[in-house]
Structure 1
Amino acid sequence: MKTSTKKTRRIIGKIRMSLLIFLIICAYSGYQYFISLGFPVDKNSTDNILINIPKGASSSKIASILKDKNVIKNELYFKFISKQRKIGGKYQAGEYELNKAMNIDEIINKLIKGDIYVEAVKITIPEGFELKQIVDRLVNNDELNINREQLIDIIENKDFEFKFLKEIPKGKNRLEGFLFPDTYLFKKDISEEEIVFKMLNRFDEIFQNEYYKRAKELDMSIKDVITLASIIEREARVDKERKIISSVFHNRLKKDMLLQSCATVQYILGERKQNLTYQDLEIDSQYNTYIYKGLPPKPIASPGKASIEAALYPDDTSYLYFVAKGDGSHVFSRTYSEHLKAKNNN
């Protein structure tokens, strides 16, 4: 009888212990879930969202607005934090610029400080724009007050602490290829230096750590990667061909062949000529890849992310040539005789 009682107690003890462990796990999981409600909805998002907080809005109303705009994960969590910190009555009305990459603390601090949205100028810098085109677009915008000489001086001579600029010497066209093409919102009173910094910072956000590692694997400097990416950007018209075009240039570099990119000659000419003459192809310039082997000294335009990735991760092909077709796509060839045939057919 005593043995049976001891056995029962052991079983009950094990059950209690199992329940206790289960409750601890549940409590921990619940705590982790609760904490996660304050994390960003999408930490990789770069899209800004304008949100209007009405005058006199309660914490509940603000929580509902933020959840509808999908910048917070949970309304109850926002209200709980507001009540716990006793800040419900401190939120300021106004129009705010928020995004999904902000955590709940960042959002709350912005609403308390009244860091409202200031009317901004929307400017798009297309992929493949040259530095001079970027300068023109900024200077010629009537809503901004940008001084051309000052902007150029900052581009050529200002110190910016970015890893990718360490090997780039100061001077003419220094930041060619590194002012990232994107759609920007600039405050109307923004300075020339702030604009350049914002565009360089966007490049820094895009050029991930894995890109640095991959460049090292390819035995390429960051400048070389962006130079090749800029050529790909100017040559490619069809997205799916970017990595194939990249493979052609990589293969040519490995074989010590001339790159023979029309885009580099167009850069020398300062215009996008549809058809280059034999005289154009004989211009004596380090950017002329028809007479000088290897990559040009610097990028020839601002490449987008797809072209940067194409430069770093080319397709595995044996192509050495390509020729444009009328629809913007290309015919790729492995031998010169194939290439001549493709040219004659186009």
Structure 2
Amino acid sequence: MERSRSSGKKKLIFKFLLFILILAVLSIVFVYGYYNKSLDPVSKDSPKSINVEVPTGSSTNKIAEILYDNGLIHNKLIFKYQVRKLGSDGKLKAGEYTLNTSMNLEKLITELSKGGKSTNTIKFTVPEGYELEQIAQKLAEKDLVDLDRFLELTKDKANFEDEYDFLQELEDGQSLEGFLFPSTYEIYKSTSEVEIISKMLDEFEKVYIKDIKDKIDHVNLTLNEIVTLASIIEREGKLDKERPIISAVFHNRLKEGMNLQSCATVQYILGERKEVLSTKDTLTPSPFNTYINEGLPPAPIASPGEVSLVSAVNPADVDYLFFVLTGDDGSHTFTRTYEEHKNAKPKN
């Protein structure tokens, strides 16, 4: 009797395991079939063209939602998996697309990787060495921002420091002068002032993480001091190859306790870029005047480019203390002593 019961239990367990196995196989077959079907076009036999817009900064997840909502893909998760499988994650581009329901996933991903039309976008360039006021004026002239709104948002870093940790290192109430990265940007015409400022801060953050963050301790300067120095280098230098040397001159003068005597800082105070400063100009009272104050100014005087930022934390290994513009190409003569400096012939 016991043997019969034991045999019955074994048969029951066997049938249960067999059922589970069959269910697992059927599930695998179903999932595999569904996966393959999801790779296919949504409607190969009745193709339909659909216009979609992928906003700037859209993630793969956001793009999957856009395609699904427009009836161009079967499944959002499988789309995202296929994007990763094809090595296209992070490579899908913003723009306006005319896609078709006859396109399979691979074709859709290929098209999205090429980039769409940008008929609703506009490009603008922030030149290296531009001051905050100049940036605002340029964008306002292109009708991209309201001048007063832009200046109001950028006059205090508190408006953006919750999103950007590096801004928390600056002084309370400090403006974004120097931190709106100079570059060429493409934006939608409807982009707000906040979004435009955020794009420029995003670009600064990239350079900060790549070139500055790990070197701050090596130069014994704060982030604000580094960007301030970089902004002076930007305004003083004409040639990229000279920027590390200009940086070294200012680093050396700081170590020697000498005033930086940068004409660029006086030009910032005056609000104009005079070719030749008068003695009266160099005596203008201001904490930004490096002719009458020791050390660096309290904040940047312009937006430095990447070369100037890198030069600020990587000065050349030279012992120069002076430089003067002498070449028609914007080159300088660098000297070690004041006597040598006086003998260098400045460009007229």
TM-score by length of 1: 0.69
Q: CA deviation at 1:163?
A: 2.0
The answer on 1:340 being equivalent to 2:342 is yes
When residues 291 and 64 of structure 1 are mapped into structure 2, their CA distance, relative to the original with a 3 A threshold, is closer
1:210 and 1:62 map into 2 onto residues whose CA distance is 36
When residues 122 and 64 of structure 1 are mapped into structure 2, their CA distance, relative to the original with a 3 A threshold, is closer
Q: CA deviation at 1:345?
A: 8.2
In structure 2, the residue matched to 1:279 is: 280
SS in 2 for 1:123: strand
Q: CA deviation at 1:211?
A: 1.6
When residues 96 and 297 of structure 1 are mapped into structure 2, their CA distance, relative to the original with a 3 A threshold, is same
Letter of the 2:187 counterpart: F
1:38 and 1:260 map into 2 onto residues whose CA distance is 56
When residues 336 and 189 of structure 1 are mapped into structure 2, their CA distance, relative to the original with a 3 A threshold, is same
Letter of the 2:276 counterpart: N
Identity of aligned residues (%): 44
Deviation digits for residues 94-117 of structure 1 (CA, Å, limit 9, x no counterpart):
x737xxxxxxxxxxxxxxxxxxx6
Q: CA deviation at 1:58?
A: 2.2
Deviation digits for residues 269-307 of structure 1 (CA, Å, limit 9, x no counterpart):
001111111110111111111111100010000001110
The number of residues matched between the two structures is: 262
1:55 to 100, 104, 111: 100
The gaps in structure 2 that reach 5 residues or longer are 1-81
When residues 241 and 48 of structure 1 are mapped into structure 2, their CA distance, relative to the original with a 3 A threshold, is farther
In structure 2, the residue matched to 1:331 is: 333
Deviation digits for residues 167-204 of structure 1 (CA, Å, limit 9, x no counterpart):
32454x60000011111112111111111111111111
Letter of the 2:152 counterpart: D
The answer on whether the counterparts of 1:251 and 1:318 sit within 8 Å (CA) in structure 2 is: yes
SS in 1 for 2:344: helix
Q: CA deviation at 1:335?
A: 1.0
Letter of the 1:240 counterpart: K
Q: CA deviation at 1:260?
A: 0.8
RMSD, matched Cα: 2.7
**Which has the greater radius of gyration?**
2
In structure 2, the residue matched to 1:92 is: none
Deviation digits for residues 58-89 of structure 1 (CA, Å, limit 9, x no counterpart):
2365466567x4xxxxxxxxxxxxxxxxxxxx
SS in 1 for 2:345: helix
1:136-215 paired onto structure 2 within 5 Å: 136-142=137-143, 144=144, 146-157=145-156, 158-161=159-162, 162-171=164-173, 174-208=175-209, 211-215=212-216
SS in 2 for 1:204: helix
The gaps in structure 1 that reach 5 residues or longer are 1-33, 70-94, 98-116
SS in 2 for 1:129: coil
The answer on whether the counterparts of 2:230 and 2:312 sit within 8 Å (CA) in structure 1 is: yes
When residues 210 and 345 of structure 1 are mapped into structure 2, their CA distance, relative to the original with a 3 A threshold, is closer
